[in-house]
Structure 1
Amino acid sequence: MKIALLMACVLACSATTQAAPTDNVKLSINKNNIKVWTIQDSQNPIMMYKAETTLNVPIEQAVALILDVDHAMEWVPFLSQMKVLSRDEKKGEFQLYMVLDFPFPLKDRDLVVQGKMSKDAQGIISIQNKAIKKGYMLNKNYVRLNQYEGDWSFQKLGPQKVKVSTYGYANPEGSIPLSVVNMFVQQQPYQMLQKMKVELEKPKNFAPLPDVLK
């Protein structure tokens, strides 16, 4: 059973998605049935984001794509490696190791993510992720990201329709111009949801969802 791609947006933001009160929420992108909001916190110069879209597929199919680690690199921007370190499908918990391909001359980034999957009484499926400092050896070729949080939310709107929302925040570390980082806050989630739509249009057999999401 494949489990857990939880890449809300690891190149984009910085602080915590549940952090201090935000001062400014802006609808930055609204096209191709995808909306991206950027969120500016007065205490943090790097923006957070929220993005959402609707997909004309069953909710199970949309979630299964997110959980398909083996094919994540085919549609998640900047992702060059992902592996499952541990998983407990009964509890819906897992750990992932990811490597992110940053443009030259920047060093690539890596991180270890602790994740939790759940389904509430209304049938909304959530996947919550947070970077942890332990769980995989440090590699001198990469810059380790320790500040990252990202959520996915899937709400069934009909037999063949689902609302997908993703929230994200990550500190990319290192000497990267703030303007470049904040540009990714807008563009990366938009590109990711666009590629997600394309991927779901391909004929593919997805693994069944773990019991905790049924």
Structure 2
Amino acid sequence: MLKHLNAILMLLFISSMLLSTATHAKSKERLGINKQGIKVWTYQTKDNPMLEYRAETVLDTTLENATGLILDVERGKKWVPYMSDIQVIERDDKAGEFIIYCRMDFPFPLNDRDLVIQGNYRKDSNGRIIIKNKAINDPRVPIKNNVIRITHYEGDWIMTKLGAKQVKVTTSGFADPAGSIPTSFVNTFVEQQPYQMLQKMKQQIKTVNYTAKDLPSILK
């Protein structure tokens, strides 16, 4: 079984992501990118000045291999931009629950960002793998000097088996990056970031071979 969980690897450039909820009025999605088998839509919800996104692609691999890649914390640093540190605080593989700490190495002159994520993963009645996450406060992870703590974040991954070796991957999310980052700066990344992340994921999936035995029992 994988030793580490990496459900956060669904974000990332964390400063541009937000999962929409039923309590927010959602504007019509706009398809901003459609190339190399990757689509990225953007939209806004009421009272949120930052764009939100949904992105998807199809991987030529098994459902187990795609899931294993997302749950492999160390390998996540190879395909999630700006991710510099990921640590598992606690987890319960039987319940499909976890708490992890993540740190993003932002380019100068921005301060680095970090956050504590509480999440869960499950397989639904249609066989899809669903991973959901949100930021929480945790006294076990004190705030660090010169690092800005993100406290408003939600995101998810959904993996749907299309065939023996074909999986549709959908990711969406949102985070308030906190601090003094202009909204206009954040919004410039909303389309490009998930596109680049899924590009790298498509490359990484070719280098791994996870099977059902590598996954938590709740996902089998």
Q: Which runs of 5+ in 1 are unaligned?
A: none
Match of 1:90 in 2: 94
TM-score by length of 2: 0.92
Q: Are the counterparts in 1 of residues 64 and 210 from structure 2 also a CA contact under 8 Å? A: no
**Structure 2 residue identity aligned to 1:145:** I
Alignment of 1:118-197 (within 5 A): 118-134=122-138, 135-197=140-202
Superposition deviation, residue 121 in structure 1: 1.0
Number of aligned residue pairs: give it: 213
Superposition deviation, residue 3 in structure 1: 1.9
* Identical counterparts, % of pairs: 46
Q: Are the counterparts in 1 of residues 7 and 119 from structure 2 also a CA contact under 8 Å? A: no
Supply the distance in 2 between the matched residues of 1:136 and 1:201 (Cα, whole angstroms): 35
Superposition deviation, residue 205 in structure 1: 5.4
Matched, 1:17 2:23: no
**What is the Cα-based RMSD across aligned positions, in Å?**
1.5
Q: Are the counterparts in 2 of residues 6 and 127 from structure 1 also a CA contact under 8 Å? A: no
Match of 2:114 in 1: 110
Q: Secondary structure at the match of 2:49?
A: strand
Q: Are the counterparts in 2 of residues 92 and 118 from structure 1 also a CA contact under 8 Å? A: yes
Matched, 1:211 2:214: no
1:75-120 CA deviation, whole Å, 9 max, x = no partner? 1011011011100000000001000011111100000000100111
Q: Are the counterparts in 1 of residues 65 and 210 from structure 2 also a CA contact under 8 Å? A: no
Q: Are the counterparts in 1 of residues 69 and 208 from structure 2 also a CA contact under 8 Å? A: no
Name the CA shift for 1:205/1:158 in 2 (closer, same or farther; >3 Å): closer
Match of 2:5 in 1: 3
1:4-50 CA deviation, whole Å, 9 max, x = no partner? 33232212135x52140112311111111000111112311101110
Matched, 1:68 2:72: yes
Alignment of 1:21-40 (within 5 A): 21-40=25-44
Q: Secondary structure at the match of 2:188?
A: helix
Q: Secondary structure at the match of 1:30?
A: strand
Superposition deviation, residue 136 in structure 1: 1.1
Supply the distance in 1 between the matched residues of 2:208 and 2:128 (Cα, whole angstroms): 25
Superposition deviation, residue 137 in structure 1: 1.1
Match of 1:55 in 2: 59
The ranges of structure 1 where at least 4 consecutive aligned residues each deviate by more than 6 angstroms after the TM superposition are none
Q: Secondary structure at the match of 1:8?
A: coil
Q: Which runs of 5+ in 2 are unaligned?
A: none
Supply the distance in 2 between the matched residues of 1:5 and 1:93 (Cα, whole angstroms): 10
Q: Secondary structure at the match of 2:156?
A: strand
